[in-house]
C-alpha cells in the first residue's frame, strides 16, 4: 500500500535561525580605554601649555592697558614731555620684565632705540617716529606724533622677542 502524502508542509516544521546575542558597547575594549586616557593626557598637556603661555604674556597685556591709559591721558592733557618720559618708562619696564636687567637698565638714547628696533624686528624707533625717544626727554619742546608712538609701542609690546639680542656677559 502506498502511503498518503503528508498534509503538513515539511518547511513549516523548520525553526527560525537563532541569532547570537548582541555585543554590548559597555565595557569597551582595552584599546578604547587607552585611547581615552591618551586623549585626556593630551587635553591636560594642551591646557597646561595654554595656561603657561597666558601667564607668561601677562606683562604684555598689562603693558598694553597702561599704554592705552597713557595715550588717553595724553589726549586729556597734552603735556608732551610727561608723555615721552612715561612712554619711555613703560617700554623700559616691559623690557626689564622680559630681558636681563643688565642688558636693558643702562640703555638710553641711540642704544635704547637700537635695542627696541632689534628686539622688535623693526626700524621704527631709530628711523621712524620713535626717534623722539633719543632726545625727547631732554629737549624743552619736543615734537612727536603720539598716535604713531602709540602704534609702534603697541606693536613692540606685542611682538618683541629675544632671538636677535646679543647676550652681554657679566663683568667681574
pLDDT digits (tens), the chain, 172 positions: 556 556 678 777 788 888 888 888 888 889 999 999 999 999 999 999 999 999 999 999 999 999 999 999 888 876 566 888 899 999 999 999 888 888 888 998 899 999 999 999 899 888 888 888 887 666 666 678 889 999 999 999 999 887 655 544 444 4
**What global pTM score does this model have?**
0.71
d(CA 53, CA 50): 5
CB burial string 15-37: b at 16+ within 10 A, e below: eeeeeeeeeeeeeeeeeeeeeee
- Of residues 132, 142, 86, the one with CA closest to residue 110: 132
Amino acid at each position: 500500500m502506498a502511503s498518503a502524502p503528508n498534509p503538513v508542509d515539511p518547511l513549516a516544521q523548520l525553526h527560525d535561525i537563532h541569532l547570537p546575542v548582541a555585543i554590548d558597547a559597555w565595557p569597551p575594549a582595552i584599546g578604547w580605554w587607552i585611547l581615552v586616557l591618551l586623549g585626556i593626557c593630551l587635553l591636560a598637556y594642551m591646557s597646561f601649555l595654554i595656561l603657561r603661555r597666558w601667564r607668561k604674556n601677562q606683562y604684555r597685556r598689562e603693558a598694553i592697558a597702561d599704554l592705552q591709559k597713557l595715550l588717553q591721558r595724553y589726549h586729556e592733557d597734552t603735556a608732551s614731555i610727561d608723555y615721552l618720559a612715561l612712554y619711555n618708562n613703560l617700554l623700559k619696564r616691559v623690557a626689564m620684565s622680559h630681558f636681563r636687567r643688565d642688558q636693558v637698565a643702562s640703555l638710553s638714547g641711540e642704544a635704547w632705540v637700537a635695542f627696541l628696533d632689534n628686539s622688535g624686528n623693526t626700524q621704527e624707533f631709530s628711523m621712524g617716529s620713535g626717534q623722539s625717544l633719543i632726545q625727547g626727554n631732554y629737549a624743552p619742546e619736543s615734537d612727536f606724533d603720539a598716535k604713531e608712538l602709540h602704534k609702534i609701542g603697541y606693536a613692540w609690546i606685542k611682538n618683541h622677542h629675544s632671538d636677535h639680542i646679543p647676550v652681554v656677559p657679566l663683568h667681574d
